[in-house]
C-alpha cells in the first residue's frame, strides 16, 4: 500500500512509512495551512473526496458531504475548525496560502456565518482523547456511540 503524497521532497521517509504502514487507521499529514501532505489508502476509502481537494479544513467547512458525514457537524467539527483556523490566521498573518484557505472558507455562506459565531470554543480544537463520531462508507448509518 503506497500513501498518496504531495510535496514528497519535504517529507521524511519515516513519516511517509508511518502513513503507509496502517491498513486499519485513517492517517494523514497536513501542514499549518491544513493542506494535505500525505494520506494512506484508508483515508481515501473513508474520505474519497480527498482525491478532489487538497485542504482538510476547506473540506470540513465547505463541502456538503462533510456536513453529512461528520456527525454533529456544527458543534463538534465546524466550530472547533473555525476556531483553529482563526487562531492560525492570528499566528501567521502574512501567510498567503493560509489567507487563500480562509478566503475559500469565507466564500461559503454556511461557513461565513460560523466565522463570526459567538459560540466558538475557547480551545482551538478538541483534544484527541475526545471522541467524535462520523459515518464511514459501507458501514451503514447506525448512530452508535464510540
Asked if pLDDT for residue 3 goes beyond 60, the answer is no
Which of 12-16, 91-95, 115-119 tops mean pLDDT? 91-95
Average the pLDDT over 9-26 and give the result.
80
Mean of per-residue pLDDT scores for the chain: 83
Average the pLDDT over 39-47 and give the result.
86
Q: What percent of the chain has pLDDT over 70?
A: 84
Q: 89, exposed or middle or buried, with CB in 10 Å at 0-12, 13-18, 19+?
A: middle
pLDDT number for residue 77: 92
Element holding 39 (H helix, E strand) = strand 36-39
Amino acid at each position: 500500500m503506497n500513501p498518496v503524497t504531495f510535496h514528497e521532497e519535504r517529507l521524511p521517509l519515516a513519516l511517509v512509512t508511518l502513513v503507509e504502514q496502517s491498513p486499519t487507521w485513517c492517517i494523514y499529514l497536513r501542514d499549518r495551512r491544513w493542506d494535505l501532505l500525505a494520506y494512506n489508502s484508508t483515508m481515501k476509502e473513508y474520505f474519497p473526496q480527498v482525491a478532489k481537494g487538497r485542504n482538510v479544513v476547506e473540506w470540513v467547512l465547505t463541502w456538503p458531504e462533510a456536513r453529512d458525514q461528520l456527525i454533529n457537524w456544527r458543534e463538534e467539527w465546524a466550530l472547533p475548525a473555525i476556531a483553529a483556523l482563526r487562531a492560525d490566521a492570528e499566528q501567521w498573518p502574512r501567510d498567503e496560502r493560509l489567507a487563500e484557505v480562509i478566503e475559500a472558507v469565507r466564500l461559503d455562506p454556511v461557513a461565513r456565518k460560523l466565522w463570526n459565531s459567538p459560540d466558538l470554543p475557547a480551545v482551538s480544537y478538541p483534544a484527541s482523547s475526545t471522541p467524535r463520531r462520523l459515518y464511514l462508507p459501507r458501514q451503514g448509518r447506525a448512530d452508535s456511540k464510540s
